[in-house]
């Protein structure tokens, strides 16, 4: 079960997030986009090396990506890691390949399909997490996603896990949820800090080419 202390600690912080989707020229993309990957190809999620990337923080990020653990709240099952959530839907027949074979490491250059950056700097608009997605709007294809987590000096490990988990949803192609209890709600104050079955199903809908990238829970 989830610790009530964890919920109160996260709720009291008021984490705010946002994202942008642009093409290679920097123009805003308004259509739905997703990753085009080949079956069994490794999907690289790399953390850019910086003084803020400690061993413990790297482990927190790795767990958010690779963990297969589940959390049961009431009658609902939630996933600690995106890998576990996506494995749970792997039996479904999906038109396009969902990124699955994750490779996680710390790198110096900005390499990887998804890049995660940690910084003590503050975002000028007050966001704790921000995801920039570069995409080809004509092919609905994500080319690269860059996640930046701000004011790391003020975040504890559960908060870091929560914001990275949320931003990865954007990096895979999901938009925000209208449900304040969902992980993908933009202002993270009262929500469950794990990937829900609804979030996983939204990935299925998106990668089926339906044009549905908004989460409805």
- The answer to whether residue 134 is domain-embedded is yes
- What is the per-residue pLDDT across 86-110, written as a single tens digit (0 to 9) for each? 999 988 888 999 998 999 999 988 8
pLDDT tens-digit map of 5-14:
333 333 334 6
Six-digit token string for 101: 């074979």
Residue 13 belongs to some domain of the structure:
yes
C-alpha 216/C-alpha 202 separation (Å) is 8
Q: State the total domains in the chain.
A: 1
Which residue range is the domain that position 197 belongs to?
4-207
Q: Is 79 helix (H, G, I), strand (E, B) or coil?
A: strand
Tell me, yes or no, whether 90 lies in a domain.
yes
Global confidence as pTM? 0.91
Residue 198 placed within a domain: yes
Q: What is the dihedral of CA 145, 132, 200, 45, to 10 degrees?
A: 30
Spatial CB neighbours of 146, under 8 Å, sequence gap ≥ 6: 110, 114, 115, 117, 131, 132, 134
């Amino acid at each position: 079960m989830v610790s009530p202390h964890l919920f109160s600690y996260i709720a009291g912080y008021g984490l705010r997030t946002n994202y942008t989707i642009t093409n290679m020229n920097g123009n805003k993309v308004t259509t739905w986009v997703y990753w085009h990957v080949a079956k069994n190809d490794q999907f690289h999620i790399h953390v850019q090396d910086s003084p803020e990337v400690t061993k413990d923080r790297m482990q927190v990020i790795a767990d958010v990506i690779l963990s297969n653990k589940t959390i049961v709240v009431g009658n609902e099952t939630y996933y600690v890691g995106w890998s576990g959530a996506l494995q749970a839907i792997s039996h479904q027949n999906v038109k396009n390949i969902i990124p699955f074979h994750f490779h996680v490491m710390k790198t110096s250059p900005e390499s990887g399909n998804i890049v995660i950056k940690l910084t003590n700097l503050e975002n000028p608009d007050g966001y704790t997490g921000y995801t920039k997605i570069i995409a080809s709007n004509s092919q609905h294809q994500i080319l690269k996603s860059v996640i930046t987590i701000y004011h790391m000096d003020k975040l504890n490990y559960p908060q870091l896990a929560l914001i990275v988990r949320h931003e990865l949803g954007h990096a895979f192609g999901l938009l925000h949820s209208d449900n304040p209890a969902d992980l993908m709600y933009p202002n993270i104050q009262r929500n469950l800090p794990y990937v829900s079955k609804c979030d996983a199903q939204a990935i299925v809908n998106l990668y089926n080419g339906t044009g549905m990238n908004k989460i409805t829970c």
